[in-house]
Amino acid sequence: MKLSGVHIVLAVLLAMAAGCIGAFVAGQWWTQPQSQGLHDFVHDELDLSPDQSARLEQLEQQFATERAGLEAKLRSANVDLARAMEEEHSYGPKVGAAIDQVHVQMGELQKATVRHVFAMRGLLDQTQQEKFDRQISKSLTGDGRE
């Protein structure tokens, strides 16, 4: 089957869109903005002891490694989605299955992030936990309620 220039351009645009959507979702919902904001909050607002800071640093290093692996899997799922879109040029069974895999990988990243948040919380004393919980609620609801 011979593809015209228009079909090739369309396929490339679809592939780029699929990759961008997945990267945006992963990046905006569960990685840098929330975790960086939470990271700053914990370090700047909770008056950590030296022991807490050291243990937090260890948790952050472990999570950075885990997150990098999960993000690689998500990028791979997005590549598979782009290929399925190029192949089917419609919402067919391969595209649907590829989207499901993107969602699985996004879910794994989200679960790991939530586990990390609870691990961080476990390092805090009761007063710090109360402040932390309010910050988490504000971050997740986006409405500033406490």
Model confidence pLDDT, tens digit, residues 47-74: 899 999 999 999 999 999 999 999 999 9
N-to-C CA span, the chain = 60
| Coil, helix or strand at residue 48 | coil
Domains of the chain: 5-141 (1.20.120.1490)
Distance CA(42)–CA(128), nearest Å, equals 9
Q: Is the pLDDT of residue 9 over 50?
A: no
What pTM was estimated for this model as a whole? 0.70
pLDDT one-digit tens code per residue, 90-112: 999 999 999 999 999 999 999 99
Residue 122 pLDDT grade (very low, low, confident, very high; cuts 50, 70, 90): very high
Contacts of 45 (CB under 8 A, 6+ apart): 131, 135
pLDDT of 22 reads: 52
139 — pLDDT class (breaks 50, 70, 90): confident
